[in-house]
Amino acid sequence: MTTDHKNVELSHVNQHGEANMVDVTEKSLTSRTATAEGFIKMTPQTLALIHHGDNKKGDVFAVARIAGIQAAKKCSDLIPLCHPLMLTKVKVDFEVDEHLNQIKVSSLCRLTGQTGVEMEALTAVSVACLTLFDMCKAADPGMEIFGIKVLSKEGGKSGSWQAKSKGA
Amino acid sequence: MTTDHKNVELSHVNQHGEANMVDVTEKSLTSRTATAEGFIKMTPQTLALIHHGDNKKGDVFAVARIAGIQAAKKCSDLIPLCHPLMLTKVKVDFEVDEHLNQIKVSSLCRLTGQTGVEMEALTAVSVACLTLFDMCKAADPGMEIFGIKVLSKEGGKSGSWQAKSKGA
Amino acid sequence: MTTDHKNVELSHVNQHGEANMVDVTEKSLTSRTATAEGFIKMTPQTLALIHHGDNKKGDVFAVARIAGIQAAKKCSDLIPLCHPLMLTKVKVDFEVDEHLNQIKVSSLCRLTGQTGVEMEALTAVSVACLTLFDMCKAADPGMEIFGIKVLSKEGGKSGSWQAKSKGA
Amino acid sequence: MTTDHKNVELSHVNQHGEANMVDVTEKSLTSRTATAEGFIKMTPQTLALIHHGDNKKGDVFAVARIAGIQAAKKCSDLIPLCHPLMLTKVKVDFEVDEHLNQIKVSSLCRLTGQTGVEMEALTAVSVACLTLFDMCKAADPGMEIFGIKVLSKEGGKSGSWQAKSKGA
Amino acid sequence: MTTDHKNVELSHVNQHGEANMVDVTEKSLTSRTATAEGFIKMTPQTLALIHHGDNKKGDVFAVARIAGIQAAKKCSDLIPLCHPLMLTKVKVDFEVDEHLNQIKVSSLCRLTGQTGVEMEALTAVSVACLTLFDMCKAADPGMEIFGIKVLSKEGGKSGSWQAKSKGA
Amino acid sequence: MTTDHKNVELSHVNQHGEANMVDVTEKSLTSRTATAEGFIKMTPQTLALIHHGDNKKGDVFAVARIAGIQAAKKCSDLIPLCHPLMLTKVKVDFEVDEHLNQIKVSSLCRLTGQTGVEMEALTAVSVACLTLFDMCKAADPGMEIFGIKVLSKEGGKSGSWQAKSKGA
């Protein structure tokens, strides 16, 4: 089931416009999964530096993967109104597109809990992109990070949600 | 002075392809500034929820600003090969574009130190965008974060650098 | 039910006087809530700076609210013998008293868990007060934080507890 | 020299009422010290539990001391607009007053840096008090923390400052 | 029941050799306990400094105990592929061996959860040893930490496991 | 110059036996380097899993390297009386010994600062060893970490120090 979210209220701000952490105490524990993606664009020369045919520079991706996984675990420390939660799985993957000179970063987060994990998935993608930027910035300070969005959410009262195939 | 960076080596990976933290011990202390920007696109309805004419929902931006400032300070904990450093100024600002239905987030980081602060500026922008996403996601899970890049760097041996006016 | 606590042992120190983290493994999961309050006293001039009739300086309270919420989530990192736990709600509010020249900070923390959340509520109040102090200290370094206490606890084996109406 | 601070502006909020981290980039490095104090009041029975004549329960104070020292180091992570800085000394001490049934916590923070350390000293005192509360709360949930204030500041452009002898 | 672990695959690396966080979403919640130990060797003079007959220097052990407990709680922040989890008990103890001039540090971690806690127990032991090193290093920089291993694990699908009596 | 440290006092405990953070405010800024090492012993089968001739499982070492680097940066958060400091270089390396069935982890930390960095180097080694343990523990829960010690220190008032060639 895919639902369109049409809430006309912001759950994270109360009627006085003040920041509001949503109370999830009464929500039931359900298995929840979210996936997200993001991209980083660089010059062909820079991409070649980290993506040889023989993949010698594999540590670049290993470092970015670890950074993304660690960041997902820190999400509630970074995003003020996120609830602390106990992720049972975080996955970060990379796909090099040599035609478009960009790298796709995708993530999956999962837990059995009272609240969704799309912010964790987005945080993993964002920090993995930032880490790729950091590792390549001496060669190419003009890189750009883009296309960060949620791809899908499953679990919880509102059921499944899928991003439409063409963007925001 | 504006210089084009044409390094053909990745400073963050050694000759064996292993992750390498750059040694900045011998670098002199200079005043350094970096600016960055990023965007989040949402539906007009969502933008209206956080940007009334009377700006009642100001806490949305206040929360995102604080999240961005705090994230800049955590940069070396998030990005594995970043050096710990002592920022002397972090600034995060928002500009609402009601025609394009998007919000521009811009940041400035500054310190007197041995290494540049562009990763801190990018981290501030990224986490501020993620926080805006979090606060609006109940209304609009299809938002997209894009256009995260460095705008300028000043200070240090390599002098000033400016992003070209059109994109990556 | 209101119970008077008359334990004559310190649960957090063992018989040798050594620090002891209480073992809550066998405790059942129950819904628990705690509320706390604290105050900060300042000069009338300082209070006026953050509390105009038109409330223009709203960010002062927004920043302190976020700091308090974030601190509640960090409680087990700050208080050595506190258990890590997953708060499902944190609330921080402010009440300005222009007659007494002070601000009351109140907090509520909630979760379904094995241990109470009064330390989290107290930490939220303390750090929100410290943040107000920080934001006003250039104008008024002589401010004082006082009256930090638990107002009520609900849930858990020992049932409900209410602070007596007059003080410690 | 003791100066009265009479600034009529809040340095931590800009002219639009938005949170503002003070730019200390141009400030010179000077040696800075701040001292602060706070109190926790408890029942005579509780005080006796942690303060025997033979001081067997010394770990209570050791734990609170470490918590206070660690908290001072975390200050910029707790207080959103505080600058990260490198403390060169943190000291936390305790004085038991058996007549008033309270414990005085005092702290000293020091560094050579561009910004004052009174928030670090206040944070050390606050978290040490919270830790004492945590360790005694099973016996005495009605304790109260009070009297948290800066005692003195030295160093920096504004010179020395001393709290007046009687309160805020 | 004691089982010999003979898995011939590394669960933490996938078939491409990439870091892999094990998915524990489907694992049932069971009560789990792990114990670990480690040792630090020093000169007799140094050992005497921290272990008088009258035990005046008790704070050395109190500080190391707190550091070990706090580190167990930080385990998932330190070890990249560890899951965040909510320890319900952490215990750190010390035993001085004046004949071998060494201190044994032992730990116990416990929770009801989906994954084992041996890494938490090992982290507690390691950081407690490092803290003892730190507190004695001015007197004795040649100390050595050794013998860090898991003693036992209980709970979970694989049942109980005991270290063999003589070493690795 | 190699000096034998013969201090007969513990700098980290005061005359009352209380934890004491050394005051380094007056120490001059000098370039400081420390190196440390540690070992992890495993079964030949486990070692073979992470160390093929074609080194396919390279991510195991990449993850442990990142964990060690990140841990060095967190040292003052882990070791209570360590000063916060700004490392300008952290290096973690691995050497596989197929005859002894063990891996040597070595680290180097460097900065220009007021205090030595041997605790940072030891922390890097310890956490890198723990990470190797974590990644291999499903195959081999009986591994042992040993031989963690400082190899050398340079810089600061006390000059250079070298570990003796044979052990503690």
Mean pLDDT of the residues in chain F: 89
Which has the minimum average pLDDT: B87-91, D24-28, D125-129, F67-71? Answer: D24-28
H or E stretch at D50: helix D44-50
pLDDT confidence of residue B57: 58
Residues of F in contact with A63 (CB under 8 A): 62, 66
Name the C residues in 130-159 with CB < 8 Å from any D CB: 130-131, 133-150, 153
- Decide: residue D30, CB within 10 A, 0-12 exposed, 13-18 middle, 19+ buried: middle
Mean pLDDT value across residues B5-14: 68
Q: Which of D133, D160, D161, D166 to mutate to test the interface with C (most CBs of C within 10 A)?
A: D133
Whether the pLDDT of residue A6 is over 50: the answer is no
Q: How far apart are the CA of C113 and the nearest CA of chain E, in angstroms?
A: 10
Q: Encoding tokens for residue B114?
A: 């041995």
Domain ranges of chain B: 31-151
Going by CATH, does the domain composed of B31-151 fall within 3.30.70.640?
yes
Whether the pLDDT of residue E34 is over 90: the answer is yes
Q: Is D81 annotated as a binding residue?
A: yes
Nearest alpha-carbon partner for F24 in F86, F102, F116: F116
pLDDT confidence of residue E46: 92
Mean pLDDT value across residues B112-125: 95
* Nearest CB to E23 within list A62, A69, A89: A89
DSSP state of C139: T
Contact C39, C156 (CB under 8 A): no
Contact F109, F121 (CB under 8 A): yes
**Contacts across the B-F interface (CB distance below 8 Å):** 43
Q: Encoding tokens for residue B46?
A: 């969502």
Mean pLDDT value across residues B136-145: 95
* Nearest CB to F80 within list D70, D85, D89: D70
Whether the pLDDT of residue A14 is over 60: the answer is yes
H or E stretch at F70: helix F59-73
Question: In whole angstroms, what separates CA F100 from the centre of its chain?
Answer: 21
CA distances from F144 to A77, E139, F99, F130, F167 (A): 33, 27, 16, 10, 17
Classify F29 as helix, strand or coil: coil
Mean pLDDT value across residues E146-154: 97
The percent of chain F in helix, strand and coil, each rounded to the nearest 5, is 25, 30, 45
Whether the pLDDT of residue C6 is over 50: the answer is no
Distance CA(C121)–CA(C92), nearest Å, equals: 9
Whether the pLDDT of residue A16 is over 60: the answer is yes
Note if D54 is an active site residue: no
Contact D142, C163 (CB under 8 A): yes
Q: What is the CATH number of domain C30-158?
A: 3.30.70.640
Q: What is the CATH number of domain E30-162?
A: 3.30.70.640
Whether the pLDDT of residue A103 is over 90: the answer is yes
pLDDT confidence of residue F161: 94
Whether the pLDDT of residue C167 is over 50: the answer is no
pLDDT one-digit tens code per residue, F31-58: 999 999 999 999 999 999 887 644 455 6
pLDDT one-digit tens code per residue, D48-85: 988 764 445 568 999 999 999 999 999 999 999 999 99
Of all residues in chain B, what percent carry a pLDDT higher than 90?
Answer: 70
CA distances from E131 to B50, D62, E2, E62, F120 (A): 49, 14, 33, 10, 11
pLDDT confidence of residue A15: 80
Distance CA(E147)–CA(F129), nearest Å, equals: 12
Annotated active-site residue in A23, A93, A134, A140 = A134
Q: What is the DSSP string of C17-83?
A: S-B-----TTSPPEEEEEEEEEEEE--HHHHHHH--TT-TTTHHHHHHHHHHHHHHHTHHHHSTTPP
* Nearest CB to D59 within list E62, E67, E70: E62
Q: Encoding tokens for residue B100?
A: 């394009």
Name the C residues in 85-114 with CB < 8 Å from any D CB: none
pLDDT confidence of residue E121: 98
Which has the minimum average pLDDT: A57-66, C78-87, E58-67? Answer: A57-66
Assigned superfamily of F30-154: Molybdopterin cofactor biosynthesis C (MoaC) domain (3.30.70.640)
pLDDT one-digit tens code per residue, E49-67: 887 644 455 689 999 999 9
Mean pLDDT value across residues A2-10: 50
Distance CA(E162)–CA(E156), nearest Å, equals: 14
pLDDT confidence of residue A5: 41
Mean pLDDT of the residues in chain D: 89
Q: How far apart are the CA of E111 and the nearest CA of chain C, in angstroms?
A: 6
Assigned superfamily of A30-155: Molybdopterin cofactor biosynthesis C (MoaC) domain (3.30.70.640)
Distance CA(D61)–CA(E77), nearest Å, equals: 28
Q: Is D83 annotated as a binding residue?
A: yes
Q: How confident is the model at residue D166 (pLDDT cuts 50, 70, 90)?
A: low
Assigned superfamily of D30-157: Molybdopterin cofactor biosynthesis C (MoaC) domain (3.30.70.640)
Q: Which residue has the tokens 């084996």?
A: C157
Contact E25 A110 (CB under 8 A): yes
Distance CA(A87)–CA(A112), nearest Å, equals: 8
Classify B137 as helix, strand or coil: coil
Contact D112, D53 (CB under 8 A): no
* Nearest CB to C57 within list D5, D17, D129: D17
How big is chain B, counted in residues? Answer: 168
Distance CA(A66)–CA(E28), nearest Å, equals: 26
Chains adjacent to E (≥3 CB pairs closer than 8 angstroms) = A, C, D, F
Q: Encoding tokens for residue E28?
A: 């049932």
